[in-house]
Chains A and B, each alone.
Chain A
Amino acid sequence: DSGVTQTPKHLITATGQRVTLRCSPRSGDLSVYWYQQSLDQGLQFLIQYYNGEERAKGNILERFSAQQFPDLHSELNLSSLELGDSALYFCASSAGTSGSGANEQFFGPGTRLTVL
């Protein structure tokens, strides 16, 4: 158990819909990352938040957005869903403290999104 929790575990929805994925980082971790894993693209970084602020962006679509709340949990919002958005979405967290060098990331169990 990594200490990172994600809800829901599974989500089935239709094209055009909007969903919200939730992540609670490990206690004390300030950084949250979102990754997408699809069959054809592998594991891809989407976005990172640190202490409530966006810190880095990857290949995140404009239809996707995220935020990190004062209690440090994060939500990933996916809208106007397409069939190709079906994937595993992982959240990870790290301490993210200045000067700590190599910050290992701890991953949650993921949310499996199926768009029909």
Chain B
Amino acid sequence: KAGVTQTPRYLIKTRGQQVTLSCSPISGHRSVSWYQQTPGQGLQFLFEYFSETQRNKGNFPGRFSGRQFSNSRSEMNVSTLELGDSALYLCASSSRQGASYNSPLHFGNGTRLTVT
């Protein structure tokens, strides 16, 4: 069974631009969640989508948005990029809504975004 696939692996953008990251979950998984990882803050939850609906949201500004398609693939968009948005963006899939005990998270290898 293929794992969670994130594209692209690396991205370099300029301040003020926008960026779209893509995540393909494990086949059959309907939940996709997104996380930002920086050396200082660790992993921080951005949002979760289940059956094309946003079910949960972290404390990030509105510049961060996402969506989920009918095939469960998800995209994350960041508009008006700032230097502080440089981070590793991880997505994770699970078979059920939320990160329940019986439905652990499976992470992709992330997209490394650098904003210059």
- Asked if A and B bind, the verdict is no
Give A residues with C-beta under 8 Å from B: none
Give B residues with C-beta under 8 Å from A: none
